[in-house]
A and B are shown apart, each in its own frame.
Chain A
Amino acid sequence: MSDLTHLTISAARAKLRAKEITATEITEAYLGAIERANPALNAYIAVTDDKARAMAKASDARLAKGEGGSLEGIPLGIKDLFATEGVHTQACSHVLDGFKPRYESTVTANLWADGAVMLGKLNMDEFAMGSSNETSYYGPVINPWRRSSLQTTVKPTIHDGGGGFVTPGGVEQSRSYDNMQLVPGGSSGGSASAVSAFLCAGATATDTGGSIRQPAAFTGTVGIKPTYGRCSRWGIVAFASSLDQAGPIARDVRDAAILLKSMASVDPKDTTSVDRPVPDYEAAIGRSVKGMKVGIPREYRVDGMPEDIEALWQQGIAWLRDAGAEIVDISLPHTKYALPAYYIVAPAEASSNLARYDGVRYGLRVPGKDIVDMYENTRAAGFGREVKRRIMIGTYVLSAGYYDAYYLQAQKVRTLIKRDFENVFAAGVDVILTPATPSAAFGVADEDMAADPVKMYLNDIFTVTVNMAGLPGISVPAGLDAKGLPLGLQLIGRPFEEETLFQTAEVIERAAGTFQPEKWW
C-alpha cells in the first residue's frame, strides 16, 4: 500500500483510470503516511481524514462509471492560506484562532471540481511572511532532507590460501547522515516538505517573494509561480496583493503542469484575474528547446555564493546548450534593488491588508478597557514577531511625510526592474536561467538569521525580482551539493508563457533526474 504514495500524479492518474487502483486505496495510503510522519515533520496542521475519505469515495464512484476530471482521486495537501469551507484556515496565525470560512477559495474549488481529494491543511510561515517556515504559530516544519557525507571504505582483496578463491576488494561508498534538523524553506514549507516526504501527491502553495520557488529548491521538488493574474486570488488570505500568486509544488515538472492547469482560471471574483484561456500546460512537455534563446543574467552572480551553486548554474547552461538552445549573456541592471524595493512594497501592502484583524469579525479577541485597547491587545497577542515587524515597517513607510521617500520611490524602482526584463525579452530572449536560491537548506533556529532579519530576507534575492515584475518563474531541482542537499535552478519567462517554462524545465529534469530524501522519519 505505501508504494502508492510514491506514484507521481501522472502515474496515479493512469492507474486510477485503468482501475488498477482506487482513490480510496491511494487516499488511505497517504493518510497512513501522514499519521506516521507528521510527528517528525510537522507539515500538516490539520488532517481532514473524514473529508478525504468521503471525497475519495465520490471519486471512485465517478471513476467506476468511466467519468471523472483531470485530477480525479488524486490526494492533495492545501496550504493554510487558502480558504477551505468549514475547515481550519488560519494562515498559521493565532490572530485567526478558530476561523473556519463559510466559502471556498477559487483555486481549491477548481481542484475539487476536477476531482482532487483534500488530505488536510499544510503548515506555513505566519501570513506567508518568512523564508524558513519558523514564523508559524504551529511551530517549524522539518525538511525531510538531511546533510550527509560520503564515506569511502577501501576493502583489500582476500586470497584464500589453498582453493584459489579470491574475494575481490574495492572501494565502497556509503552516506552517513547528520541528524541536525533543517528548514524546508518558506513560506510554503509545509507544502514542500509534504510533497518531498510523500505525504501528498502535490500541494497548493503561494509566492509573494519566493515562497513557492525557495522551498521547492530546498526540498528537491518542482514549484512554479505563474504570471500575476493567472490564478485567482479570491479566497486566499491576502499578504501583498500586487505580488501574491498561487501555484503548485509537485514531484516533477509534468505534475506541476497538471496541477497548474487545474488551479488557473479566469475568475470574475478577482479583478486582477486575466481574461485569457488556460492552455494545456502538459502538452508543452517533451517539446524541444532547439533554437530557444536562454538569457544568463550577470547580476545573479553574487558575492559569497557557494561554489556548488555556481557549478550547478554552469551545468544547467551546459544541459540547455547540449539540447540545442542558444545561450546569451544578458544584463538586468536593477536586480540588486529588487529586494530593498520589495521590503517597502510588501510590508506597505501587508500593513493595509492585515488591518482587518481587529478582534471584531473573526478570530481572536483579547478584551481591553475600550475598543482601541481591545484592538491593540488583540493584535499584540495574535500576531507573531515577524508579522508585527512587517506591519510596523509598512505603517511607517506609508505614514505622513514618508510616503514619497519610501513607497513612491520603491514603486518607481519597480517600474525599472520590470523594464529590465522587457528590454531583454524585446531583444529576443525566450527564457532566463538563474540559480533559485543563494544557498541550500539551512538549520532550524539558525543563529545568524535570528539575529538579523535582513539575513533571512536575502534568501529571496533571486526570486523576488520575478514577483516585482509579475512574471512567471519555476524552480526545478538540478542536483545535490557536497553535503547531499538538493539545489534548484530557476527559469523566468515572458508574461503568460508558462508553457515555455514547463518545456525548458523538463529538459533540465531529464538531464538531472529527480531527487528523493532518504527516509528517516
Chain B
Amino acid sequence: MSVDVKTVKRVAHLARIAVSEEDAQRMTGELNAILGFVEQLNEVDVAGVEPMTSVTPMEMKKRQDVVTDGSKAADIVANAPATEENFFLVPKVVE
C-alpha cells in the first residue's frame, strides 16, 4: 500500500499537525519508503496467532478506590502557557 499527497494531508489533519504543500510532498515520499519497508510483514503466516497485548504475563494491578492525592491545582497549571485562576485558557470553542 502507498499514500498520495491527499492522504498525507488528511492524516496530518488527523494528527493535528499543520503541513505546507512542500512538507506534504516530502512526507509522501518518506511515508511510502517506510510503508514499503513494513510491507514484508504480509509474508508471515499468522493464521491462529493471537496479537500480543502484553509482553509479560501479568494481571493488571488494581488500586483501592480512595483519594491519595490532590489539592495541587497550582502545581498542575504551573507549566501551562496561559492560565487564569487555576484554569487552562484556550481560544474560544463555543459561540
A and B are interacting partners:
yes
A-to-B contact residues, CB < 8 Å = 98-102, 227-229, 242, 268, 271-275, 334, 336-337, 340-341, 343-344, 351, 355, 358-365, 367-368, 370-377, 379-380, 383, 388-389, 391-393, 395-396, 399, 402, 405-406, 408-416, 418, 452-454, 457, 468-470, 495
- A391 touching B17 by the CB < 8 A rule? yes
Majority DSSP secondary structure for residues of A touching B: helix
Q: Which of B19, B51, B77 contacts A415 (CB 8 A)?
A: B51
CB distance from B22 to the nearest CB of A (A): 12
- B90 touching A374 by the CB < 8 A rule? yes
- B81 touching A379 by the CB < 8 A rule? no
- A389 touching B31 by the CB < 8 A rule? yes
List chain A residues, Cβ under 8 A from B49: 412, 415-416
Kindly state whether residue B66 has any CB partner on chain A within 8 Å: no
In chain B between 10 and 26, which residues have their CB closer than 8 angstroms to a CB of chain A? 11-19
Are A229 and B58 CB-contacts (below 8 A) given A268-B63, A337-B44, A405-B1?
Answer: yes
- A374 touching B30 by the CB < 8 A rule? no
- B16 touching A379 by the CB < 8 A rule? yes
A365-B81, A415-B52 known, 18 other contacts, Cβ within 8 Å: A102-B75, A274-B56, A343-B34, A358-B16, A364-B81, A370-B91, A371-B91, A374-B91, A376-B13, A392-B15, A396-B3, A406-B38, A408-B51, A414-B52, A415-B51, A418-B55, A453-B33, A454-B34
CB distance from A501 to the nearest CB of B (A): 17
Q: CB-defined interface of B36-79 with A at 8 Å, one 1/0 digit per residue?
A: 01111110101001111111101011010000000010011111
Interface centre among B13, B34, B50, B61 (most CB of A within 10 A): B34
Complex Cα distance A376/B19, Å? 9
Count of A-B contacts judged by CB separation below 8 Å: 165
8 A-B contacts, Cβ less than 8 Å apart?
A271-B60, A360-B88, A361-B80, A376-B13, A383-B17, A391-B17, A409-B44, A454-B34
Are A416 and B46 CB-contacts (below 8 A) given A365-B81, A409-B41?
Answer: yes
- B81 touching A363 by the CB < 8 A rule? yes
Complex Cα distance A116/B58, Å? 32
List chain B residues, Cβ under 8 A from A409: 41-42, 44, 46
B interface, size bucket: 35 or more
Interface centre among B13, B18, B33 (most CB of A within 10 A): B18
Are A371 and B3 CB-contacts (below 8 A) given A229-B58, A340-B37, A395-B11?
Answer: no
Q: Which of B15, B60, B75 contacts A351 (CB 8 A)?
A: B15
Complex Cα distance A134/B14, Å? 27
Q: Which of A363, A393, A405, A495 contacts B34 (CB 8 A)?
A: A393
Kindly state whether residue B5 has any CB partner on chain A within 8 Å: no
CB distance from A276 to the nearest CB of B (A): 10
List chain A residues, Cβ under 8 A from B38: 340-341, 343-344, 406, 410
- B88 touching A361 by the CB < 8 A rule? yes
List chain B residues, Cβ under 8 A from A395: 11, 14-15
- A495 touching B56 by the CB < 8 A rule? yes
CB distance from B52 to the nearest CB of A (A): 4
List chain B residues, Cβ under 8 A from A413: 41, 44, 46
- B41 touching A380 by the CB < 8 A rule? no
- A337 touching B41 by the CB < 8 A rule? yes
Interface centre among A227, A408, A412 (most CB of B within 10 A): A412
Complex Cα distance A358/B17, Å? 10
Closest to B82 in A: A365
List chain A residues, Cβ under 8 A from B77: 361
- A380 touching B80 by the CB < 8 A rule? no
CB distance from B19 to the nearest CB of A (A): 7
- A412 touching B61 by the CB < 8 A rule? no
Complex Cα distance A375/B13, Å? 10
Q: Which of B18, B54, B78, B91 contacts A380 (CB 8 A)?
A: B18
Q: Which 10 A-B pairs have the closest CB atoms?
A: A470-B55, A411-B51, A365-B81, A380-B18, A362-B79, A376-B18, A412-B46, A102-B75, A340-B38, A395-B15
- A341 touching B11 by the CB < 8 A rule? no
- B52 touching A392 by the CB < 8 A rule? no
